[in-house]
Chains A and B, each alone.
Chain A
Amino acid sequence: MMTKEIPAIEMIDVSYRYPRSKKIVIKNLNLTVKQGEFLAVMGENGAGKSTLCQILNGIIPHSLHGKLSGKILVQGLDTQETPISVLSTKVGIVLDDPENQLFTTSVMSEVAFGPENLNVPVDEIRERIRWAIDVVGLTGFEDRMPTALSGGQKQRLVIAAALAMQPSILILDEATSQIDPLGVFEVLNLVKELNQKYGMTIVMATDQSEEVTRLVDRVIVLGDGEKVAEGTPREVFSDTQLFSRFMIRSPQVSQLGTRLKEAGHPLPVFPITIEEAQSGIIQILNGKKPSNPKTQAPSPKETPAVSTSDVIIHVENLDYVYQPQTVKAVEDVSFDIYRGEFVALIGQNGSGKTTVLKNMLGLLQPTKGKVIIAGLDTQVAPVADLARHVGFVLQNPDQQLFAETVEDEISFGPRNLGLDEETIKARVAEVLTLVGLEEKRQEFPPALPKGERAKVVIASALALDPEIIVLDEPTTGQDYKGCHQILQIAKKLNEMGRTIVFVTHHMALVTEYARRVIVMRGGHILVDSKTEDVFDQTELVLKAHIIPPQITTLSQSLPPELGLPRVALSVSDLANSILDRLGQAV
């Protein structure tokens, strides 16, 4: 099936511009991918990753026109001259949102869809279905409805559907960005197997650098449509300028390596894996006994005062059942959140996080138990009244933008409260400065880049001047820069005295920003404690299928006699402790 002589993909001086657009999204790109190679494509949102993926499978120029120049050969076939019916048997693609890639009502018919379109004889289709479903591990699910599957299972089904077309190249365009960590784990393991066991060529657009290090042979970095860096994960992540120039998040251990190098204490080998960082740290700290045992305690974060007498969110024995089901989505959940806290609510999809949040806002009414927000009983107070106290930002910004300009969008809430125009104007100006969108006040919100759309939604919630801000997965689909900008805003608000509750699957953001973590599993609270205490309970965290940030795992793997914090929550946490120890030893 595979010809070893020719490369799987060859791009020669490729440029592309979308129809009715002046911007060149891919600039003079040259790229060769060998048969069986695993390539990662990185770059911030808008750098051209998705466009590249669609050029590779022939969607550009066959379905999306625009101006394409240069030459693209896929398994030796020129994509501009080869029909989609042939290209689709060479390249399979998996996109981010599984919902948009499933068209039928059973797993089996979903896998059959592609081969049916190619007029493959029915007996052979059956054979291919059996094989593809077996490879992705969905045997036994043939008659299930795709809508009833978990996020990870859905993406595995999409992969099976692609495999049934028998491609030799598989493209994953942010395929793990919309699913929970357990799903990410399932999908990446499958992709690794396809690469190693079946010899498939993989091109994966992603920003998960830790996974990239573990899986791929080569990385290319796109910046503004150009290839700005290329090499093995080690070569690419060793470039300490990478982050500042192209907003690429290198693995946390590499970030640590960079920090130490800049401080004049480089590790013997620049680390890209936990093992390398671990042995490097042991080496440079070797023989330097901690002179002061007090450094053993984790450095407490400077926190604004939280008064434990001032309960602002009170949840008591909350049960919730989604009618007409009978299973409790949330069972016997109780917690108090105090004014000024910064809390992360984590757990897999379906663990009950969003259900709890919606009960907190009166969007759902408790089946049993009660919720009191800023003194208001959510079963009595209308949502619009609760909205004065709680700014709730839902997951997808696109479902929360109703107005024609950013300014109108932000005024929407205050107008509903019936505030006078003067006050509204002042509030709009205030929140625009807070989120840094002063320049965009006249723009059409849906046309802004994704990171800015999220900021408009946050600004709109802030315009109601709430004491509590609740963010439900605000970072889904955002790149590294976007994630941090959103949480920086939350941090600033917290420092101004607001209470923050957020849900996310990005554990590095949880440890870096949250001071308290509530872990949910199967509708129950599994742990509810200070961030460092939660991640100290390794077994419990694993039980909820939560993968701690790399830096935390690294700190836990270091021998205690080094006198470093047992649970490092951020790169700078650990870097500072190490530098501290080195300083003391001098």
Chain B
Amino acid sequence: MGSMVLYVPGKTFFHKLDPRAKIVFLVLVSTSIFTVRNIPLALIGLGVMIALWGLARLPWKILYGLLKTLVGIFIFLFIIQSIFYPGEQILVKPLIPSFIPLIGGSGKIAMEGINFAFLLIVRLLTMIILMPLVSMTTPVQNLALGLAKMGLPYHISFTITSALNMVPILQSEVSIIMDAQKLRAMRIYEKGKIMEKFKSYTALVTPLVIGAMRRAQSMAVAMDSRAFGAMKTRSYLQDIRLRWVDWAFITGTVAYSIGTIIVASILPRL
């Protein structure tokens, strides 16, 4: 099973970028994307992310898997937004006649709603691709180092990046627990009503939490015995230095984000 966060070794320019440049990229691009209210502009943003994905030689399979898991949420968002978004260009007449109090007049589908739903999904996708683009091209210890060099205390940056490390472990744990439940004749994961599905997910929580707690105890012992946090200052084997490529990338990121924000404010909505 491919993990969507774990580092994939590689030698592309994106892998070699200073972690700080990538952190700046992550923060600025995800902020600017929120100001976009125009579909073509949002599509350009998404296109850039997909192009970077290709440049970083990350497996397309993972991107495809990501889309597959999210497609349900997207459809749900699409339906909800198209129904409830207020608009003038009515495509489908209200399902509930307007003389009924309170809920009357809802159920119509407006062009604006469809456009908005589409915009929302494109923006969400861009955000979702951003995360693995950074985490899969940067070893966790370098990410921690980057955050630390940017002024975050090391124990906090290490905790954040360790959480990233835990994701694939939890993923595999979830699939083992689900297997164990199927082996006890549980059918919910194959077919089942939404309520039952929800109930069965709560049955996942107990073993997952207890497992995580046992693991955390062990990890704490192992970390303490390797003097984690024992000294105020710490040395770093890896030396990161911002080279001209990194500065160029940061400049590009800043220009791109500011450009997006400006263009977004000029262009008409949707």
Residue numbers of A with Cβ under 8 A of B are 54, 57, 59, 62-63, 83-85, 88-89, 91-93, 95-97, 99-101, 103-106, 108-109, 112-122, 125-126, 129, 143, 145, 158, 161-162, 165, 324, 361, 363, 382-384, 387-388, 391-392, 394, 396, 398-404, 412-413, 416-417, 446, 460-461, 464
Contacts and interface: CB of A to CB of B under 8 A. Distances in A.
Interface stretch (B125-133, B236-244, B254-262): B236-244
9 contacts: A93-B225, A100-B219, A103-B162, A122-B235, A129-B237, A363-B179, A384-B182, A387-B185, A416-B186
Looking at B2, B180, B185, B206, the one whose CB has the most chain A CB atoms below 10 A away is B185
B215 A400 contact: no
Contact of B230 (A84, A103, A109, A402): A84
A350 B267 CA distance: 58
B226 A113 contact: yes
B227 A117 contact: yes
B176 A117 contact: no
Contacts of B233: 119
A145 B139 CA distance: 10
A95 B217 CA distance: 11
B167 interface: no
A369 B110 CA distance: 53
A95 B227 contact: no
A63 B227 contact: no
B7 to A, nearest CB: 5
A375 B159 CA distance: 51
B55 interface: no
B115 interface: no
A398 B210 CA distance: 8
Given A117-B231, A324-B61, A387 B180 contact: no
A519 B182 CA distance: 28
B211 to A, nearest CB: 5
A392 B176 CA distance: 12
A402 B225 contact: no
A431 to B, nearest CB: 13
B207 A398 contact: yes
Contacts of B235: 115-116, 119-122, 125
B237 A126 contact: yes
B33 interface: no
Given A398-B207, A417-B185, A122 B237 contact: yes
Given A59-B225, A115-B235, A383 B183 contact: yes
B184 A95 contact: no
Given A105-B140, A116-B237, A121-B235, A88 B9 contact: no
Nearest to B228: A117
A117 B234 contact: yes
Nearest to A410: B184
B224 A63 contact: yes
B180 A400 contact: yes
Contacts of A417: 185
Contacts of A165: 226-227
Nearest to A63: B224
Given A95-B221, A125-B235, A446-B206, A88 B211 contact: no
B237 A100 contact: no
B269 interface: no
A99 B169 contact: yes
Interface residues of B, number: 53
B118 to A, nearest CB: 31
B243 to A, nearest CB: 19
A116 B145 CA distance: 11
A106 B139 contact: yes
A384 B186 contact: yes
B207 A416 contact: no
A361 B173 CA distance: 19
B229 to A, nearest CB: 7
Contact of A384 (B59, B165, B187): B187
B222 interface: yes
B224 to A, nearest CB: 5
B234 to A, nearest CB: 6
B69 interface: no
A461 B184 contact: yes
A84 B228 CA distance: 9
B177 interface: yes
Given A119-B235, A361-B183, A401-B207, A95 B222 contact: yes
Contacts of A96: 218
Given A59-B224, A117-B234, 11 more contacts: A101-B222, A103-B223, A106-B139, A120-B235, A122-B237, A324-B61, A384-B186, A387-B182, A391-B183, A398-B211, A399-B173
Nearest to A413: B184
Interface in B131-153: 139-141
Contacts of A394: 176, 179-180, 183
A108 B237 contact: yes
Contact of B224 (A84, A121, A392, A416): A84
Contact of A117 (B139, B204, B229): B229
Nearest to B206: A402
Contacts of B228: 113, 117
B241 to A, nearest CB: 13
B43 interface: no
Nearest to B139: A105
A401 B179 CA distance: 12
A104 to B, nearest CB: 4
B190 interface: yes
A460 to B, nearest CB: 6
Contact of B2 (A100, A117, A324, A384): A324
B142 to A, nearest CB: 9
B60 to A, nearest CB: 11
A47 to B, nearest CB: 18
B218 A100 contact: yes
Nearest to B61: A324
B168 to A, nearest CB: 8
Nearest to B222: A101
Contacts of A392: 183
* Residue of B61, B176, B239 ringed by the most chain A CB atoms within 10 A: B176
A114 B165 CA distance: 18
A246 to B, nearest CB: 26
B73 interface: no
Nearest to A96: B218
Closest 4 CB pairs of A and B: A85-B230, A100-B218, A413-B184, A114-B226
